[in-house]
Amino acid sequence: MSDTPGTERNPAKKPRTRASGKWWTAGGAAAVLGLLLGGVALGWWAANQTLIAGQQNTVESPDAAPVVALDSSMPDVRGLTRDDAAQVLADSGIAASTITFEDAPSGLPEGTVVRQVPVFGTPSPTAIVIGVAVPATMPSLTAADRSEAVATLSDLGVAVTIVFQYDTKAAIGTVLSTSPAAGEPLGDTATVTLATTGSSVALGDLRRLSGNCRTTGEVSLGGTRHPSAVVCSAQAEPSTSVWSIGARGDQFTATAGIDDDATPGTNATVEVLADGQVVDSWQVAFGKPVEISVPVTGVIQLSVRVNSPDDVEVLLAGAAVAGSDEAIAELEQ
């Protein structure tokens, strides 16, 4: 049969085909757009979660990116420049009127933020103080202890290196010197030298050149027990014993007295000589020992001279020569 003029074949089919095409085009576009928007939103969320979870900046890493908190919380701006810190605070929704910048002497580069109040994460801070580095000089730390010196320099943003040096006149563990010296410009590192104990060697273990002194075990002086002593016989005629210390010692120490087993009332005179010259002398008596401490830096021969009208033995308990670790190691060879 021929087609009727003005009509199309299969009139119900083609309209459905065109309608189906329009539905796919609109629905597909909406789906693609939804995926794109979802990806953007997910990326924004992940980026912000990464910022929040990131570690705070430290002054040791001045080039690190700031850690930004959400909801107008306090960001961490330490290590940034003043201008960058101000921008980060503004980006965090914090009003400039709440921010105070102040100078903070520091060994870090000038203009670096070295401290902040309040701390990172504080919600909606109403008063903020930012410390900005200005040039600092080394403070005087002589005689300070280790913890005090380290704390003082750490507060100035300075990394501290500790070294040790033997010194007979300084208290153990106290500061002998600093580099840079007190009053000099301070950088981000410094060296602090602390006094150390050094070493010592028993007098009885050194080479004796002459005399009648000998080493004994435990003794008692004035009621105090001592694990060892050098014993020197004292008579009316002075008796001298000489040891070689080869200019390697700095201090000679001992507790001098008369043994608690001796006759009460006995006494004696004790002298210490350095290279033949009397350095000091002491009177010792039964029940009344004395403490001896004599500088011997540069001394080659150390001598002890004793005499007594009572013909008694003088004890030098704990007698030892102290010096640097290196010097005493050589002396013991």
Q: Could you report the per-residue pLDDT of 187-238, keeping only the tens digit for each?
A: 999 999 999 888 999 999 999 999 999 999 999 999 999 999 999 999 999 9
- Write the CA distances from 6 to 3, 10, 19, 170, 234, integer angstroms: 9, 13, 22, 119, 151
pLDDT above 50 for 75: yes
Residues 241 and 178 in one domain: no
- Report pLDDT for 178: 96
Residue 310 lies in a domain: yes
**Region 49-57 average pLDDT:** 34
Residue 59 lies in a domain: yes
pLDDT above 80 for 23: no
Residues 211 and 319 in one domain: yes
Residue 67 lies in a domain: yes
CATH number at residue 323: 2.60.120.1060
In terms of residue numbers, what domain contains 177? Answer: 146-197
- Lowest model confidence (mean pLDDT) among 30-44, 66-80, 110-124: 30-44
Residue 13 lies in a domain: no
Query: Phi, psi (5° rounding) for residue 253?
Result: -130, 150
- Report pLDDT for 169: 79
Residue 218 tokens read as 């435990």
- 65: which DSSP letter? P
CB-count exposure of residue 202 (10 Å: 0-12, 13-18, 19+)? middle
- Report pLDDT for 318: 95
Q: Which residues contact 312 (CB under 8 A, 6 or more apart)?
A: 234, 258, 262, 263, 266, 267, 268
Nearest 5°: CA angle at 113, between 112 and 119? 160
Tally of structural domains, the chain: 3
- Report pLDDT for 71: 58
Residue 84 lies in a domain: yes
Is residue 120 within 8 A of residue 56, CB to CB? The reply is: yes
For residues 231 and 242, what is the distance between their CA atoms, to the nearest angstrom? 13
Task: Check: pTM over 0.85? Answer yes or no.
Answer: no
Residues 99 and 127 in one domain: yes
For residues 67 and 151, what is the distance between their CA atoms, to the nearest angstrom? 26
pLDDT tens digits, residue range 79-135? 999 999 999 999 999 999 999 999 999 999 999 999 999 999 999 999 999 999 999
pLDDT tens digits, residue range 133-160? 999 999 999 999 999 999 999 999 999 9
- Report pLDDT for 33: 36
For residues 106 and 31, what is the distance between their CA atoms, to the nearest angstrom? 57
198: left (phi over 0), alpha (psi -120 to 50) or beta: left
- Report pLDDT for 171: 86
pLDDT above 60 for 241: yes
Nearest partner of 310 among 331, 328, 283, 290, judged by Cα: 283
Position 19 confidence tier, pLDDT thresholds 50, 70, 90:
very low
For residues 248 and 325, what is the distance between their CA atoms, to the nearest angstrom? 10
pLDDT above 50 for 34: no
pLDDT tens digits, residue range 287-333? 999 999 999 999 999 999 999 999 999 999 999 999 988 899 998 87
CATH number at residue 41: 3.30.10.20
Residues 234 and 160 in one domain: no
